[in-house]
Structures are given as structure tokens and as C-alpha cells.
Amino acid sequence: MRKVSVIGVGLTKFGEHWEKSFRELAVEAGARALADARLEGGKIQALFGASMSSGRLVGQEHVGALLVDQLGLTPIPAIRCEAACASGGVAMRAAWFAVASGAYDIVAVGGIEKMTDVSTEDVATALGGAGDQEWELFNGATFPSIYALMARRHMHDYGTTEEQMASVAVKNHANAAKNPYAQYQKEITLEQALKAPLVSSPLKLFDCSPITDGAAVAILAAHEVANIYCEQPIEIAASAQASDTLALASRASLTEMRATKIAAKEAFKQAGLEPKNIDLAEVHDCFTIGEIMAIEDLGFFEKGQGGPATEAGRTALGAEISVNTSGGLKGKGHPVGATGIAQICEIVAQLRGQAGARQLHGAEVGLTHNVGGSGGTAVVHILKKT
């Protein structure tokens, strides 16, 4: 297997894009990634695209062909990847394999979702398909209620508090306020988070990620050719994926994501690193309890200590480990197909020293953690400066 590096990244601003179409968002992010890589489109040999629910949300299927067409990259192969909210991470892993195997030298990988053109109810139904539709969604269990069940059990078993979950939101909004691409660029207080309306007890409005439009693209290249195009290629030191039962009720534990633990263990083995070697992590905080469980399952803190660690500031920018410097899904936004690629974009910006006001000084190694559904799929990537 060859070494693979990221040589270019590009994002749209995340938010509500009433004036832009699905394809326009993809082209904007793709053009920025190509410019960042100082690369002409003709050098791209394959395209991997991620979108969870474009058929339901904007009526567009055959997304791979649309993207390769609109980006002016025909006739190269174009493959769509779907794994619910982990679609971007899975596409990234597929693109990494394509280059690492020697099949291609340079590929593009992108994610996109346009979610605000339909009603909130329609979005909730589409997202509910990321879980077990027959056993969960059909019986009224949407994702806020699924994650609320996890939160309740975590509170029961480990004493996790609503204040600790709210602390995740406060931290991530503070980071998002420094991110020009974020949907919400405004800080919130702990009191605001705690007094927000209930969505599914104990989760309140600020415990939940928003409905978002956006796109993200990364350009990957074989390590031996990366320096031809890029002054600061960022190596993908590990790529790992694991699965768990689709339905929450079928799992042995409600307070951990087994797929995250297995993918993380494999990623650290590939990279020859340990959790203590990670400077920053972009984790899947679709709900604040999700970040708390993630930092435990990834090995940054013992099980049950994710809440107290967050409340104590140990995951803040520049602290023991900087978690979700972009603002995370909670503050930056969560256009589901784009999220996994946007996480890569943030780590690349940080390791290059290009993250502006939210820059973590001295960052050398970063990790991304992308989850599909309530943990049916988990993808972990580790990136490092070369």
C-alpha cells in the first residue's frame, strides 16, 4: 500500500443556501479544492462523491454522474458512496484505498447535502432512514429520541449531567464563532443552553446539530507525487471503518459505540500512535451526548469521564486535546453527506497552520471521527504533517 496525502481542500460556507442549488454548492467547493491543490481538473483520475439523501431532499439521484459532469471532469469514473451521516468518511476511505492500492495517483473526494429545501418533518423522516426504519422510525423513534435514550442511560450509569452536555454546545459554538465557514458564528452561554426548549428530554435545542446545506471536497494524491503540486501535503496515516447493529435496541450497551472503539483501535494500530499522541480531533457531535461518548470511545478519556472532562475545559481549544476546533456538527453545521469531508478539511487547515483565529499552535497530528446513524457505521482517519 502506498502512502497517500491530502493536497487540496475546499468548502462552501455551511448554512441555509436558498440562493444556491445542489450542483452550485458542489462546484463551489470543488473549484476551491482544485485551486488549493494548484491542480487542473484534467489531472484528476477518479471522483468519489458522498450524499446521504439527495433523492428525498432535492429529487436528485445518480449523484456521481452529476458531480463529475458539473465539475467538468468527464469521462473519469465517478462513484457515489452512502453510509448515512458517515457517507463522507466512507467516501474518503474509498478514495484513500484507490490511491493507496496504486489504481490512481490523484483522485477527488467530495460530500454534499442540500437539506433546507424541504420541511423539517421531511428532513427528520429522511434522516430516520439512517437508523432501523422498521423498528425505530416506524414506531416514532427519530434521532433526537434515539440519542436521548443514550443520554439518559449515560446519566444513569456515570452521573453525566445536563450541564456537562450543555458545556459541549458552549465550547463548540465558541469555536464556530471563529470559523468563517460555520453556520453559527455566535457564542452561547451555559445558561442559554440549559434554558433552551426541550427537543427530546434531556436533549434541548442547543444539544442538537442543525439542518444544513453545504459541500466539501478534498484532493488526494500518492505521496510520491504530492510535492509536485502542494507545498504542504498532509499524510493520511490511517483509515479505518467498523460496523455495529443498525437498531439501538440490539446493542449490548447504550453508552458506547462499539464501531467507534473498533475503528479507533485499528486506526491507531495503522498509524503506530496512541490517543495521547493526537493534538486535535473532529468528532461526530450530531448531539452533545455524541461528543461525550466519542471522546471516551476514541480513548481520550475513560468511560464516564467525557462529561466532567468537557465541563472542566479539557477539550477546549489549546487544552489537553482540542475537540471540534471547527465548531463541530453542532456549531459549524451538519450537511450530512459533506460532514466527513469537512472534518478532513478542518484537520488539514489546522496542520498547515491556516485555521485563522481558531488555530491550534504546534498541531502535528489530527483525527477525524464520522458516524452513520446512531453508530451503525464509524470511520476514523488520522492525519499528520509530513
Q: For 301-322, how does the pLDDT look when each residue is reduced to its tens digit (9 = 90+)?
A: 999 999 999 999 999 999 999 9
**Bond prior to 202 in cis (omega within 30° of 0):** yes
The answer as to whether 323 is a domain residue is: yes
Asked if residue 204 and residue 276 are part of one domain, the reply reads yes
Q: What is the DSSP letter of 276?
A: G
Query: What would the grid cell of residue 27 be?
Result: 462546484
The answer as to whether 131 is a domain residue is: no
pLDDT tens, position by position, 19-66: 999 999 999 999 999 999 999 999 999 999 999 999 999 999 999 999
Residue 177 C-alpha from the chain's centroid:
18
Asked if residue 148 and residue 76 are part of one domain, the reply reads no
d(CA 298, CA 261): 6
Q: Residue 386: its pLDDT value, please?
A: 87
pLDDT tens, position by position, 277-300: 999 999 999 999 999 999 999 999
pLDDT tens, position by position, 243-289: 999 999 999 999 999 999 999 999 999 999 999 999 999 999 999 99
Asked if residue 226 and residue 87 are part of one domain, the reply reads yes
Asked if residue 227 and residue 163 are part of one domain, the reply reads no
Asked if residue 218 and residue 274 are part of one domain, the reply reads no
The answer as to whether 310 is a domain residue is: yes
Asked if residue 333 and residue 295 are part of one domain, the reply reads yes
The answer as to whether 368 is a domain residue is: yes
Q: What whole-number percentage of the chain has pLDDT above 90?
A: 98
Asked if residue 225 and residue 333 are part of one domain, the reply reads no
Band of residue 154 on the pLDDT scale cut at 50, 70, 90 = very high
Active site residues: 85, 334
Range of the domain at 226: 4-118+212-235
Asked if residue 205 and residue 216 are part of one domain, the reply reads no
Q: What is the CATH number of the domain that holds 189?
A: 3.40.47.10
d(CA 350, CA 355): 5
The answer as to whether 315 is a domain residue is: yes
Structural domains in the chain (count):
2
Which residue has 484537520 as its cell numbers? 347
**Span 357-378, average pLDDT:** 98
Asked if residue 229 and residue 182 are part of one domain, the reply reads no
**Span 113-133, average pLDDT:** 93
Asked if residue 26 and residue 145 are part of one domain, the reply reads no
Asked if residue 178 and residue 111 are part of one domain, the reply reads no
